[in-house]
Amino acid sequence: MRLSLLSRRDLACQQVVELITDYLEGALSRAARRRFEAHLAGCPHCTEYLAQMRETIKLAGRIEPGDLTPQMRQEFADLYRRWQSGPQ
């Protein structure tokens, strides 16, 4: 698939979905990026797919850690105090 990028042939959707992360990471060459964007401009499905990959990243970024239990809070407070009061 990499080699075929060098050809002047238009990208197929099946290639575009494999290049999305390289695109988002800024890892495509300028030529590959132009071809990628040219494909998107004419392909609503791949445009939707790219939006979904961005949404996937956004949803993962919304995951927050759960609150520590009061017991864990206490254990870590104890750990900190032991550490503060001298070498372990």
Partner 1 sequence: MDPDAELLTRLRAGDERAFIALVQHYHEPMLRLAASFVPSTAVAEEVVQDTWLAVLRGLERFEGRSSLKTWLFRILVNRARSTGSREQRSVPVADPGPAVDPARFGPSGAWSDPPEHWIEAAEARVDAGKLADRVRAWIDDLPGRQREVVLLRDVEGMTSDEVCSVLELTEANQRVLLHRGRSRLRQLLENEFGEAR
Q: Which residues bind partner 1 (CB under 8 A)?
A: 12-15, 17-18, 20-22, 25, 27, 45-46, 48-49, 51-53, 55-57, 59-68, 72-73, 76-77, 79-81, 83-84, 88
Closer residue to partner 1 (CB): 30 or 58: 58
Joined tokens for residue 18: 């494999």
In the complex, minimum distance from the CB of residue 17 to partner 1, in angstroms, rounded to a whole number: 5
DSSP state of 5: G
Query: What is the number of alpha carbons within 13 Å of residue 23 lying toward its C-beta?
Result: 23
**Which residue, 30 or 81, is less far from partner 1 as judged by CB?**
81
How buried is 19 (Cβ within 10 angstroms: 0-12 exposed, 13-18 middle, 19+ buried)?
Answer: buried
